[in-house]
Amino acid sequence: MTTPNTEGTAAAGSPSRVLVLNSGSSSVKYQLLDMSDRSRLASGLVERIGEETSRLVHTPPPGAGAVREREGRIADHDEALRAAAEELAADGLGLDSPDLAAIGHRVVHGGLRFTEPTVITDEVLKEIERLVPVAPLHNPANITGIRTARALRPDLPQVAVFDTAFHATMPEYAARYAIDVETADAHRIRRYGFHGTSHAYVSRKAAALLGKEPAEVNVIVLHLGNGASASAVAGGRCVETSMGLTPLEGLVMGTRSGDIDPAVTFHLKRVAGMSADEIDVLLNKKSGLVGLCGDNDMREIRRRVDEGDERATLAFDIYIHRLKKYIGAYSAVLGRVDAVVFTAGVGENSGPVREAAMAGLEEFGLVVDADLNAVRSGVPRLISPDYARVAVAVVPTDEELEIANQTFALVDN
């Protein structure tokens, strides 16, 4: 890891800050980090972009005042980023600062080509655009973020860090679908996997929590946010993950179905008369937890479960059942499992999800300690008892820090 030189002549005053943009389909998370000590200077979230009820929440540097909020329509990701830039400027941390070394962007789909952090040129941007059909909810937002950031600071290196990159090590037998090889290859149809920045960061942190090197451990990472995915990481390398050509395959998610029989789509077209676009919206935005019970926030679902609500209970049970199938499958893929690790919004915060997902898996060496599971904390921690054969852990993810590290490593030379 490079530590910027703050003394001497050549590097004196060399820029050491990185702005990270994590643009989702209807949100932007941003963070400004000082890479000399990896501290977070300011951060924020713009959510419900495109709706009347958009909201920006900005956290200024420690000691520089209270969290600020703006409510009211923010039309698109361009406007969102400009609003974020205004908030940063109000803290004296504007994008025009000479201290800024680079802007790092989360880009969800990197296809076959991008398996490393990449400085964004016109040609790279074109390739990210070409991948829109396989990440229709995500790549367009990432592209808008890149365009606006380039317009605001055309002189600055902009770096793309890809969700797919960490999964590029999957063996061919895990990455390939069992469909006609020529057709698959002609259209680059294969399993790419997503949330890779998180799976990489969390699997490394989990090894550290066990007092081991990443190369020494096999872990199953469960990234359970609004989008959700599992990965099997053997000795620091991803060998399996639950998302595929697009972020639709795998686990039950907030609004996405995860695995279904692909024939459901022909059936919807032939029998229900739906178009490909309508089926896309159904499976990506109106399915998963929201399709099953009308809510996609796990807090609300748990509240309803506790009140005895049948639809919420069934939705919860389907979510947990799918998780268990993946834990079992990935245990078999790995052969030996050292840790099962929960992360992201649901994984980090929902004790009931962790408890239910581990229930009945004692034969796999998986046990959760109820007291440890009830602890609320922002640091990596074990929730399994000492005697358990396999560690169960909660490791908060930090995609922004990981993107900042990869971005800075690329530009700081």
Ligand X SMILES: CC(=O)OP(=O)(O)O
Ligand Y SMILES: Nc1ncnc2c1ncn2[C@@H]1O[C@H](COP(=O)(O)OP(=O)(O)O)[C@@H](O)[C@H]1O
Cβ nearer to ligand X, comparing 31 with 384: 31
Q: Which listed option, ligand X, Mg ion, ligand Y, none, makes contact with residue 350 (CB within 5 to 8 Å by class)? A: ligand Y
399 binds ligand X (CB under 6 A): no
396 binds Mg ion (CB under 5 A): no
Cβ nearer to ligand X, comparing 86 with 127: 127
CA 220 to chain centre: 16
Least separation in angstroms between residue 163's CB and ligand X is 5
Please answer whether residues 139 and 125 qualify as being in contact, where contact means their C-beta atoms are separated by less than 8 angstroms: no
CA distance 190 to 53: 38
Of 85, 90, 83, 49, nearest to 66 by C-alpha is: 90
247 binds ligand X (CB under 6 A): yes
Q: Which listed option, ligand X, ligand Y, Mg ion, none, makes contact with residue 254 (CB within 5 to 8 Å by class)? A: ligand Y
Applying the rule CB under 6 A, the residues between 144 and 173 that interact with ligand X are 163
Least separation in angstroms between residue 132's CB and Mg ion is 19
Q: Which listed option, ligand X, ligand Y, Mg ion, none, makes contact with residue 193 (CB within 5 to 8 Å by class)? A: none
Which residues have a Cβ under 8 Å from the Cβ of 78 and sit 6 or more positions away?
144, 147, 148
Applying the rule CB under 6 A, the residues between 176 and 195 that interact with ligand X are 194-195
140 binds ligand X (CB under 6 A): no
Interacting span for ligand X (CB under 6 A) from 37-45, 55-63, 213-221, 224-232:
224-232
Cβ nearer to ligand X, comparing 117 with 345: 345
Which residues have a Cβ under 8 Å from the Cβ of 227 and sit 6 or more positions away?
194, 195, 247, 253, 254, 256
Of 259, 343, 349, nearest to 302 by C-alpha is: 349
225 binds Mg ion (CB under 5 A): yes
Least separation in angstroms between residue 108's CB and ligand Y is 11
Please answer whether residues 371 and 383 qualify as being in contact, where contact means their C-beta atoms are separated by less than 8 angstroms: no
CA 231 to chain centre: 12
User: In this structure, how many other beta carbons lie within 10 angstroms of the beta carbon of residue 224?
Assistant: 28
CA distance 194 to 117: 15
CA distance 17 to 34: 5
297 binds ligand Y (CB under 6 A): yes
104 annotated as belonging to a binding site for a ligand: no
Cβ nearer to ligand X, comparing 249 with 412: 249
Please answer whether residues 250 and 230 qualify as being in contact, where contact means their C-beta atoms are separated by less than 8 angstroms: yes
Interacting span for ligand Y (CB under 6 A) from 114-122, 233-241, 295-303, 359-367:
295-303
Residue 19 host element (H or E): strand 17-23
Interacting span for ligand X (CB under 6 A) from 114-122, 220-228, 305-313, 388-396:
220-228
Q: Which listed option, ligand X, Mg ion, ligand Y, none, makes contact with residue 316 (CB within 5 to 8 Å by class)? A: none
Q: Which listed option, ligand Y, Mg ion, ligand X, none, makes contact with residue 247 (CB within 5 to 8 Å by class)? A: ligand X
DSSP string, 96-164: T-TTEEEEEEEES--TTT--S-EE--HHHHHHHHHTGGGSTTTHHHHHHHHHHHHHH-TTS-EEEEETT
DSSP class of residue 74 equals: -
Residue numbers annotated as active site:
163
DSSP class of residue 167 equals: G
Of 337, 334, 356, 359, nearest to 346 by C-alpha is: 356
CA distance 237 to 179: 26
Cβ nearer to ligand Y, comparing 64 with 314: 314
Residue window 13-52: x/- pattern of binding to ligand Y, with contact defined by CB under 6 A: -----------x----------------------------
List the one residue from 44, 104, 111, 227 that touches ligand Y (CB under 6 A): 227
50 annotated as belonging to a binding site for a ligand: no
345 binds ligand Y (CB under 6 A): yes
Please answer whether residues 162 and 107 qualify as being in contact, where contact means their C-beta atoms are separated by less than 8 angstroms: yes
List the binding residues for Mg(2+): 22, 399
List the binding residues: 22, 29, 106, 223-227, 297-299, 345-349, 399
Binding site for ligand Y (CB under 6 A): 24, 225-227, 254, 296-299, 344-346, 349-350
Binding site for ligand X (CB under 6 A): 24, 108, 138, 163, 194-195, 225-227, 247
Binding site for Mg ion (CB under 5 A): 225
